[in-house]
Structure 1
């Protein structure tokens, strides 16, 4: 039996024609809702001296029509090297109650919201060569990396998919399709809409504008923004935990309820644990990306004056940063456990003091009882109508005194024996 060729053994995806079923979960602007802008970056816009922003904002019908003709080149055997990126915003989450809004950890359908009708977005996916498997991942985003191989118009292509779990803040998804024969790169980013994200992405691509036909330039730009968001989330959560511990807010007061604060200590502690797990998950996906790095060409950073950047070295550095962040989360969680143990020790110490005081009180009561019990018994006996004790009251002291002394002596002997054992 003849061995299969390498390209026959690789996983092929030819479903670049999105179906209505694959887009069934998508939702767009409702009636009366203002449309949001998408942003397009091309190799021409990065080299342009007229457009200082180096990106194109797309909002209305005319913008989308010009985007189709100007920003999305066709793929043929004679196509020239090109680069085209489209960034789409996420669904904004709003809530009238700030306490409830602050507790929204994730909104899984945020990437399923699109700024244009489904029919137009379907055309966008086809023109940007986005596989249907990417849209399936958007239904329930999770931290994952995939590399797929396929072909379009007889031209072989490689698809790189990166997605961030929706339980994380500012989660995103990326699909990059690369045609090695024609050196054409098509990228679709979901979950971007803030001016800072667009500016940072444009700045990163502009610095490497001579190498945008290298798919790793776009992948590294995605990883840079993800690193920025994740480090900020780690810093905010760790600082939040440390502040709450220093103020003693990790112990709920008796007159305080969980609704007194927008974000309780326990919720924040749980979020740090989730973040640590996701950072470890990111490390696993970066390991998968490392295996694909030998097939990606290197490039120089900051144009021709920069250093040569090897994809494997860059991914290794990002992986180490994520590993360090996971260790920081682990350290602050251990510090939290120590703080709880300290508080529990204080509570136990206070309880022991109360128990000792109660024992001393019980001992005092027992001593008083033993002291008066013999006299009470003698008085009850003399009061009974059995003997005539008229004029013989002094016998009470003759009997009660020695009996009380004997009882107290027995008590002290017994306690002494117990102490000497």
Structure 2
């Protein structure tokens, strides 16, 4: 877009700032200003003031700007890259509404800042609306289960708000550079270097017209600086809102986890009471088992002795010459010994087998843990 003293009109040939390629490749909010001498048709080198700007690529509708201001002919060439249809309409509307002020060298920079302001505000308001809606849903009875989809969406909004805060802060730093450039440009317009352009060039408007135009550009530049200050203040407000979302989410999550912890405490209390009841019953049964064991220890020897003496191995009424103990007592002792060995061996075998199974299970678990550790 070429802006003249009459009105901004489209042209077929653009003067593109060489630094625009580097600016676009940054993919982050950025503004730069540069001054250099360029040759003109008259053979003299004249000042060219170039501006490049870019907004963050991570948000939708990102654009870039290349603008070149030629003070000696009071002309500005601007190119905006990546515009959507809506953004094109907005740019045309603002240029048309500028009227005779469309020749201002910072016009497109100001429009660019307004487009980015609107883009960030829309993003922030969308996040605030989503956060408010999901907070209301959580507040009115929705479970605070950390695995629920609503909690994950809530966390996603908070993470997006933190990312947006970083974008806004970066844009604020770039706006500070724009504000500084406005001061530099005002100083240039008031300098002898600028006024000397019209003393040497007899083809330009009269000095009075030039002076009036310069005063008007300085006035507009001052207004733009105030507007940038207002935008920075509104950015601060949005940063506070986004930070408040994160703080509220942290508080809400802490409250939710406290509720879960309280429920867990109640459940643990019930489990503890159940364990106490089980322990009491176990103690009661253990006491009963001790009594049973005591009775068994008392009566088992008696029963064993009575069983042995009740057999025909012992003849307590033997006549003279007949033995009291039968010659087959060795059978009793042999069978008893064999049964004892079999019983002890069976007990040892089954105990050994269970112990080996437990050790093998523990070794496999340790091997699995080591394997997972290596994979990490």
* 1:162 is aligned to 2:15: no
| Deviation (angstroms), 1:358 | 0.4
Q: What's the CA shift for 1:152?
A: 2.7
Q: In the TM superposition, what are the counterparts of 1:307-318 in structure 2 within 5 Å? A: 309-318=222-231
The answer on 1:339 being equivalent to 2:252 is: yes
Contact 2:6 2:100 in 1 (8 A): no
What RMSD over aligned residues (CA atoms) do the two structures have, in Å?
3.3
CA contact (8 A) 2:5 2:102 kept: no
After TM superposition, the score normalised by the length of structure 1 is 0.57
Alpha-carbon distance, 1:42 to partner: 5.3
Distance in 2 between the 1:250 and 1:332 partners? 20
What secondary structure is seen at the aligned counterpart in 1 of 2:19?
helix
- Whole-angstrom CA distance in 2 between matches of 1:141 and 1:308: 28
Deviations 1:25-50 (A, max 9, x none): xxxxxxxxxxxxxxx57559958xxx
Distance 2:108 2:117 in 1: 14
CA contact (8 A) 1:177 1:185 kept: yes
Preserved contact between residue 74 and residue 103 of structure 2 (Cα < 8 Å): yes
5+ unaligned residues in a row in structure 1: which ranges? 1-39, 48-54, 57-66, 69-126, 390-421
Contact 1:142–1:166 at 8 Å: present in 2 too?
Answer: yes
CA shift, 1:178, in A, is 0.7
**In 1: Cα distance, 2:22 partner to 2:143 partner:** 40
**2:72 paired residue number:** 181
Q: CA deviation at 1:252?
A: 5.7
Identify the residue that residue 144 of structure 1 maps to in structure 2. 30
Question: Which one has a larger percent helix, Structure 1 or Structure 2?
Answer: 2
- Contact kept in structure 1, 2:50 and 2:66, CA below 8 Å: yes
Paired residues, what number?
A: 268
Q: How much does 1:251 deviate?
A: 5.1
Spell out, residue by residue over 1:97-141, the C-alpha distance to the aligned partner (whole angstroms, 9 max, x if none): xxxxxxxxxxxxxxxxxxxxxxxxxxxxxx422223211222242
1:312 positional shift: 2.1
Paired residue for 2:170, among 278, 281, 293? 281
Secondary structure of the structure 2 residue equivalent to 1:170: coil
Residue 292 of structure 1: aligned partner? 181
* C-alpha distance in 2 between matches for 1:243 and 1:42: 46
Flag the 1:269–1:343 CA change in 2: closer, same or farther, 3 A: same
| 8 Å contact from structure 1 (residues 250, 265) kept in 2 | no
The answer as to whether partners of 1:43 and 1:209 remain within 8 angstroms in 2 is no
SS of match in other structure, 1:212: helix
CA contact (8 A) 1:140 1:166 kept: no
1:155 counterpart SS class: strand
Provide, for residues 355-377 of structure 1, a one-character-per-residue CA deviation record: whole Å limited to 9, x for no partner: 10100000111111122221211
Cα distance change, pair 325–345 in 1 and its aligned pair in 2 (3 A): same
How much does 1:267 deviate? Answer: 3.2
Deviation at 1:307, TM superposition (A): 8.7
Q: Alpha-carbon deviations, 1:173-202, whole Å to 9, x = none?
A: 1111111221110111112122x2222222
Answering whether residue 290 of structure 2 is matched by residue 377 of structure 1, we say yes
CA-CA distance at 1:235 after TM superposition:
0.3
Report the equivalent of 2:127.
Answer: 237
Structure with larger RCO (C-alpha < 8 A, sep 6+): 1
So what's the TM-score if we normalise by structure 2?
A: 0.63
For the residues of structure 2 that align with 1:251 and 1:356, how far apart are their CA atoms?
21
For residues 250 and 244 of structure 1, do their structure 2 counterparts lie closer, same or farther at Cα, with a shift above 3 Å needed? farther
CA contact (8 A) 2:124 2:238 kept: yes
Mapped partners of 2:6, 2:74: distance in 1: 18
Unaligned residue ranges in structure 2 (runs of 5+): 40-44, 190-211, 304-376
Q: Deviations over 1:197-244 (max 9, x none)?
A: 222222222221211221122211111111111101100012112222
